Amino acid sequence: MDFKDERIERELQSYEQEADEYVGNPKKTNPLIKNTWQKVANNKGALSTALSPITLFTEMIRAYQKGEYRQIERKTMLKVVGALIYLVSPIDLIPDFIFGFGLADDIAIITFVAKTVFEELSRFSDWKDEQERLRTQPFQSEDAY
């Protein structure tokens, strides 16, 4: 871990503490997800590099809340939720209104978290793909055999 990663990790830790109040609490996470997608919509070009992890983060949170997917460590959920809190927070390392640089720290946080929880994100993505495959697979009755 280099200096930049250490600084990002320190910044993220305070948001992970706040995330503890969100995990498993739809009254807090639903508005967080809504605010996340509003920010993405308002900054499409700048946040395009972080779109894939943001999508996985929000889908993971929703699946966890619904009890559909629980094969995830709590510390991973805290990192994921903490990253989204950081993303929507107007107070962060580089204020969003600074043209050209304001979203760089947000992207760095999202990318850092995606990198640190990559294995669990991959397992979730595989699970999600399998659920979609099962949902769209045509029904075959036993009479067909």
Q: How confident is the model at residue 13 (pLDDT cuts 50, 70, 90)?
A: confident
What's the pLDDT at 141? 58
Q: What global pTM score does this model have?
A: 0.84
Closest CA to 35 of 54, 21, 16, 50: 54
Give tens-digit pLDDT for 44-99. 888 888 999 999 999 999 999 999 999 999 999 999 999 999 999 887 655 555 55
- Cα 3 to Cα 7, 10, 52, 104, 108: the distances in Å are 6, 11, 25, 16, 13
Give tens-digit pLDDT for 92-124. 655 555 555 668 888 989 999 999 999 999 999
Residue 3 pLDDT more than 50? Answer: no
- Cα 115 to Cα 52, 97, 104, 112: the distances in Å are 12, 26, 16, 5
